[in-house]
Each structure stands twice: as structure tokens, then as C-alpha cells.
Structure 1
Amino acid sequence: MPSANYRSLLRTPGAAAFFLPASLGRVGVAMTGLGIVWLVRSHTGTFAAAGLVGAGCAVAEALGAPQLARLVDRFGQTRILPPALLAHALSVAVLVSLVAADASDAFLVLGGALVGATLPQLGAMSAARWAAMLRTTRAAELPTAFALESLSNAVGYLLGPTMVSALAAAGHPVAGTVSAATLSVTGGLILAAQRGSAPSPEDHGERAARKSRTLLCGGGIGVLMGLNLAIGVFFGAMQVSVTAFAVEHGEPDSAAVIFAVSNCSGLLAGWLYGLRRCRAAPPVQLLVATGALLLGTLLLPTAGSPFTLGAVVVLTGATIPPLLALFSVLTESTVHPTVLTQAFAWLGSAGAAGSAAAAAVSGRVIDSLGPHGGFTITTTAAAAMTVLSLAGLRVFGFSAQSRRP
């Protein structure tokens, strides 16, 4: 059967034991940001304060994730993850207490920042375990493994926001935030307990630290940072633009349907991508995928109704999981193994930064030019990704040959 590729991966000794708890924790991670918005909104009565605290969480996560990943690469997941999870649980408790005590906005932002800075990067750690497990004897299966990671991420961000919104709508916003932390901490602790699949940490000492910083520099990682920043811009602009489009056409509820269509097409495309062994080199696959995304974004302004927009996002949504899987494949083949978790974390931070910036800019553009102005930003991001993919045809070939010790 076609799904045997995924089954064979999960039957690898130790694989399911780390992948499943990491997937569980990802649902909690996906709930965190929106959970904070609902929590603060329910007590302050204003989305302005809620958005401010949520932004503080996002910025702190973007800045803190690479630092936590650096410690993980240096000392190992099993040593760093438990205290990091304890710090995250305490940070959530502090934020909930501050909200209950009607603290000022400044203290709430500080609480949100503490939550974001300690948020466990379970996706990066799970991807690093796949790389350590497969790169030596089963490197050909890495694209399938990273496709599985992409699917797990997509499912997490499909379930997580839905769960936290349902709890908030039922009048339990605190339960949403607490549930998010519970899932993240539980999944992370189970992951940390799987010592056999954890990558070996790098050598200690200042020399090793300097070497790690050097290994993270180079053309390949620069291209990947640009790609992740651009796809973050795409996500941020797309969310605001689709919502504005639905409101403009008098069907605000259709935005949720359009996002669901996009997510489902992405899940299907990601699943199919992982089943097949493409003969083209990953940089060539990347160029094809970014070209397809660009084509889809060029069609967005032609949509005249929510129905036709939904038909277009089938194409744009289908490109995302394969792209995310390719980012991981190229990162693994470009970056030195001892700094792989850091690389994944930095790329995630670039995507988060792009999304946050695009969400803010898109709102202003849409106010002036309407939803089609927002779609222009998505097209620009896709065009930038295509240009970077063209550069990657040369850069990744060289980097992949020079990354090993």
C-alpha cells in the first residue's frame, strides 16, 4: 500500500515514541498564541490589550527559540527540555495570575513574553531526531520523514486554534491557555524521556560555541532564512486578506470555510508528496513548488466571490506542506549536524517574524486598497521565494557538499 512509507518510518525503533508526543505537544504550541488573546480579551474587554500581549508572546518566541535550541544542540534535548518545560509551565501560571489580578498592560505583556520565550520548540527537536536517525543509513527516507513532520505541523495548527476557540466561545478562556500548556508540557516531557533517539550534543566549551556560530553562517542558510521569512509574509498577508475579502462580499463566515479548504488541500498534497520519491533534486523541486505558489497567488485577484477564491486557494494551500518539507530537507543537507536544531529554530523565527510583519502591513494596505491590495503582498512574497529558489539551484549544491565534518 502507498502509506507503507509512513508506516515503515513509524515502525523504526524509537520513531513513534518521539514523533507522537512531539505531535501532541505541537497542538498545545498551536493553541498558545490564540489562547493568550482570548484569555486577555475575556478579562480586559479589549482586543487592543489582547493583541499587544499576543504580540509580546510572538516576539519573545521568535527571539528565544534559537537561544533555547542552541542550548539543546550543546547539551542535549534530555538535559535542556525538562527545565525549559518547567519554566514554561511557571510562565503560564504567572500570566494567568496577572490576568486574574487585573494587572496593568505592561505586566501582561511581560507575562506574555515569558510564555513565548519558554515555549518548547518540539517541531525542531522532532525533526532533528529524524535527521540523526536516518541520515547515515536511510538518507533517502528523509524527505518522507520531513513530509510527516509537515503534516503533523499542519494538523496541529488545524486542531489547536479550533480547540482553544471552542473553549473560549463556551466561556472557558482560562481552560484554553491551561490546556495549551498541559499539552505542550506533557508532550515535551514524554519526548525528553526518549533518550535513545535524541541526537548527541556537541562538544562543550567556548571553542565549540564559536564553531557553532560559524557553522550557522553561509549562503545556504541565508537563502533558507529568506525563504522562511517570505513564506511567513505569505501566511500573514493571506490570513488578513482572505478575511477582508469575505467581509467585503458580505459573507464573513466564508473565511473559515476558505481556510479549511486551503488546509485540507495542503494536508492531501503533503501526504502525497511524502509517499513518492521524486527523482528531481530538492533545489529543483523547490523551484517548481515556489513557481506553483506564485501562479496561485497571481490568480487570487481574479476571484470575484468567496467560492472562486476557495477554488484558487486549493492551489496555494497545496504547495505549503511540500515547501515546508523541502525547507527541512535542504536545511539538513546544508547545515552541520551539531547545529541542526538551532537552524530549524532560526528558520521558524524568520517565518514568525515575516507573518507578524505582514499581518500588520496588510491591514494598512487593505484599508487603503481593499483585499486585492493584500493579495499583492502575497504575490510579492511568492515572487521573492521563486527568485530565492533560483539562487538556491547553485547555492544548495555547493553547501550540501561542504557541510560534513
Structure 2
Amino acid sequence: MTARRTVENAPARVGYGALLRTPGAWTFLVPAFAARLPYAMLSLGIVLLVLDTHGSYGTAGTVAAVSAVAQAFVGPQTGRLADRFGQAAVLLPSVAVHAVSVAALIALALGHAPAWTLFLAAAPAGASVPQIGAMVRSRWVTKLAESSPSTLNTAFAFESVTDEFTFVIGPVLATAIATGISPSAGLIAEAALTVAGGLAFAAQRRTAPARHPHVPGAKRVSALSAPGVRLLAGAFLGVGSVFGAMQVSVTAFAEAAGQPGLSGTVYGVFAGGSMLAGALYGMIAWRRSAQQRMLASYALLVLGCCTLWAMPNLTALAVAGLVCGLAIAPTLITGYTLVETLVPAGAKTEAFTWLTGAIGLGLAAGSTAAGQLIDGFGPWAGFLVPMGGAGLGLIALVSLRRLLVAPSAPSRAVAQGNASMQLVGAAKS
């Protein structure tokens, strides 16, 4: 009897195959992949271009940081507008502004313009990056409204794996184009993919979530008003610092080793570890609460980052990056699953975008700090930034973990099939 009860109470598993057979899913997933791939190419493309034209890791990292900061602060506002007016209404002007801004940045860099002019072009280029990842997650929430809670959780895992896959392909593609053709060609490809993918995604209006227009006299819902959202955004800042510092530091390390063309491959191995972990993570029926899993995966991330600075060669760095990357996707999956429980329906796109924006802001801080340390002390010093950024994020999560509990009844994403398995604010991937 006990064994039978254990089987009955076990969390249900939903495979990726069943998820992808959801009617209409492929109509937005394919263009979404093309539109989100440039997100993994933009920062590295900027670093490679500015490094080639201005010869400074510090300048290259700072220009990339300006772009990421603009994306981090403007992105959530874009998400709020998408919740209010619809995704297509936001995407169409965004891709146009992005194409023009990237073109201006390329022209200024090739003309050896002063660094401050590069900042002026990088800011709108980052601010206009389409928030495809957040929009796709909102579409899954709408599409799976009548499905089991496990299906939505699997969808979040699938999206995180897709994000990581873009970070496997994106850096390799950007590096190959920049080194094989010209540094500017990498950014040209990034802008072309953004425009083509963004327009194709915007055209899929049937799967778009319903608009939530502001009602006169009603209090406006803000995702950032939830303390748990602010805590997760802070934790994702630490994850972003790992991304940003790794991009600059791996590039510098490969350059110092006389093999600059391998920088994208090494970074791709790092992202590949995350993708592998995410794929496995999404197939497990977890019994631990999402809060517990978040703390555990983030602690593993900190441990992995502590070894990067001591690696003696590119092979060792690739192995260390792979180990470090294994903790990335589980952290992101759990964070996105948790944040869905903390906000109402009219603020979900904005909430997802705050987490994505926090990654971008952390990427900006990480790339800037790493660039300055590399210029001053050498490539190894840049790897101190991931350790410090992730360490601060873990301290915040541990000390304020109570904020991750949903203030009211749990949403669909965390409701389990059996009452004995329910935990307020928990989610399973």
C-alpha cells in the first residue's frame, strides 16, 4: 500500500516530445529561435569589432556594457508595453531601431570615432533588442492554460535549454564570421537575423497572449513591486556577470594563447554544459521545492566559478567552463518558474523581461569589470569577476530566501497534482 501511494503521489512527467506536439507551437518557436539567436551574438560581436578598431579590451567591454545596460533597463518597459498593447505592436518598431543603431555603431567603429560616440550608438542598439525569450514564455503560459501544471514547467525548461543552445551557436557563429570575413560582418549578421526573425515572430498573432490594457482609475500592476521578483532579478545579475566576464575573459585568454579563433568554441563549451544540464533537468520529476533547488544550483555555480582563474591553458579552461556551465540552466529554469508564481497575469511578460534584463545588466557589469582587470593584470584576472558576482548573488538568495514564497495561493505553474505535494511558491521543472 505504501509503495502504491508513493507511485500515485509521484510528480507527473511531461516529455519534450509531448510539449512540442502542442498545436501551433512550432509556428512561433521557429521564428523565435532565429530572433533570439542574435542576443547571444550582440555583445561578443561588439567586443570583437571594437577590439579590432580601437585595440583595447577595456573600451570593447565598456561599449558592450553600454549596450547591455540599455537593454536591461529598457527591456522591462518593452515587456510592459507588450503586456498592454500586444507583442507585434512592440516588435515592429524595435527591430527597425535595432537595425539602424547597429549600422551606426559599425560605421563609427570602422571610422575610428571616439569611444563616446560608440556609446551613443550602442545604447539604442541594446535598448531595441527584441525581448523574444520573455514573449515566448508568455505565449507558453497562454497556450498551456488548460494543460497540466507539469506541461508548463516543462515548457520553461525547454525555453531555458533553447536559450543556452543559442549561447552555444551564437558565440561560435559571431566569432567565425568576424574572424573569417571581417569584424563588422558579425554584427551585420546579428542585425539581419534580428530583423528577419523578429518580423516572422510578430506575424504569428494567433498564439500571442491577450492584451491587458490599462483601465482608467485602476492601479497599474508592476512586476517589480513583488519583493521576490526583485530578489530573483538581483540573483540573475550575478548570473549575468558570469556571462559577461566569461565572454571578455575567454577572448583575452585565447588571444594571449595565440589562438583567438578558439574563443567562441571555448565559450560555446561553457554554454553547452548549461544546455546539457538544462535538458536533463527538465526531464526529472523533482520532489524538492523550487526554492531549495534554486539555492542548490546557485551554490554549485559559485563553486564552479571559483576554479576558472587558475586554469593554465585553453583545454583546461574549456573543461572548467563546462563544469561551471552545468549549474547555469538549472538556476535559470528555476528562477523563471518561480517568478511566474509571484506576479498576476497582466505582468508576466514584464516579470520575465526583468529577469532577462537583469542578466543583461550583470553581463554589462561583468564585461566592464573583466575588461578593466584584464588590461591591468592580464587574462587570468578577468575570471575573478564570475566568482565575485555569483558569490554576491548567493549571499542575497540565502539571506532573503523567504521572499521567494508566493504571497497568495500558488499559481498553475506550481500546483502539483496531489495535495500532499503542494508547497506555496514552489515549482517543478
State the one-letter code of the partner of 1:77.
Answer: Q
CA displacement at 1:370 relative to structure 2 = 6.5
2:97 corresponds to: 87
Q: What do residues 217-243 of structure 1 show as CA deviations (whole Å, max 9, x unaligned)?
A: 122112101111111223334445556
Pair 1:114–1:236, CA change in 2 (3 A): closer
Give CA-to-partner distance per residue, 1:176-199, whole Å, 9 cap, x none: 323212211221112112222211
Q: Distance in 1 between matches of 2:119 and 2:193?
A: 23
Which of 212, 231, 234 is the equivalent residue of 2:221? 212
> Which among 152, 159, 184 is matched to residue 162 of structure 2?
152
Cα distance in 1 for residues equivalent to 2:42 and 2:371: 23
The answer to whether the aligner puts 1:161 opposite 2:171 as a matched pair is yes
**Which runs of structure 2 are paired with 1:280-319 in the superposition (5 Å)?**
280-300=288-308, 306-319=314-327
Give yes or no for contact 1:60–1:116 (8 Å, CA) kept in 2: yes
The 10-residue stretch of structure 1 (392-401 or 339-348) with the greater mean CA deviation from structure 2:
392-401
Q: CA deviation at 1:318?
A: 0.7
SS in 2 for 1:216: helix
Q: Is 2:254–2:262's contact at 8 Å kept on the other side of the alignment?
A: yes
Tell me how far 1:262 sits from its aligned partner. 2.3
Q: In 1, Cα distance between the equivalents of 2:175 and 2:250?
A: 19
TM-score normalised per structure 1: 0.85
Distance, in Å, in 1 between the alignment partners of 2:335 and 2:285 is: 16
Partner of 1:23: 33
Aligned counterparts, 1:4-403, within 5 A: 5-39=15-49, 44=53, 46-47=55-56, 51=61, 53-96=63-106, 105-205=115-215, 207=217, 210-213=219-222, 215-240=223-248, 258-300=266-308, 306-365=314-373, 374-391=382-399, 393-399=401-407, 401=409
Report the Cα offset of residue 263 of structure 1: 2.4
Contact residue 335 and residue 403 of structure 1 kept, 8 A: no
Shift of 1:29: 2.7
Q: What number of residue pairs does the alignment pair up?
A: 399
| Root mean square deviation, CA, Å | 3.3
Contact 1:28 1:160 in 2 (8 A): yes
Deviations 1:68-115 (A, max 9, x none): 112111111122222322332333344455567776554443222222
Q: Shift of residue 24 of structure 1? A: 0.9
Shift of 1:25: 0.9
Contact 1:227/1:385 (8 A) holds in 2: yes
Distance 1:261 1:290, change over 3 A: same
SS of 2:359's partner is: helix
Identity %: 37
Following the alignment from structure 1 to structure 2, what is the Cα–Cα distance between the partners of residues 386 and 149? 23
Q: C-alpha displacement at 1:362, in angstroms?
A: 3.5
TM-score, normalising length from structure 2?
A: 0.80
* Alpha carbons of structure 1 residues 59 and 293: separation in structure 2 relative to 1, 3 Å: closer
Contact 1:131 / 1:332 at 8 angstroms: preserved in 2?
no
Q: Give the residue type in structure 1 aligned to 2:339.
A: T
Residues 298 and 400 (structure 1), Cα distance of their counterparts in 2 relative to 1, 3 Å cut: farther
How far has the Cα of 1:15 moved from its partner? 1.3
C-alpha offsets along residues 333-376 of structure 1, whole Å, 9 cap, x if unaligned? Answer: 11222111112222222222222223333445567777675555
> 1:137 deviation in Å?
2.8
Structure 2 unaligned residues grouped into runs of 5+: 1-12, 413-429
Structure 2 contact 80–347 (Cα < 8 Å) conserved: yes
- The letter of the residue matching 1:345 is T
Bigger helix fraction: 1
Residue 292 of structure 1 aligns to a residue whose secondary structure is helix
Tell me how far apart the structure 2 counterparts of residues 301 and 35 of structure 1 sit (CA, whole Å). 24
Query: Partner letter of residue 357 of structure 1?
Result: A
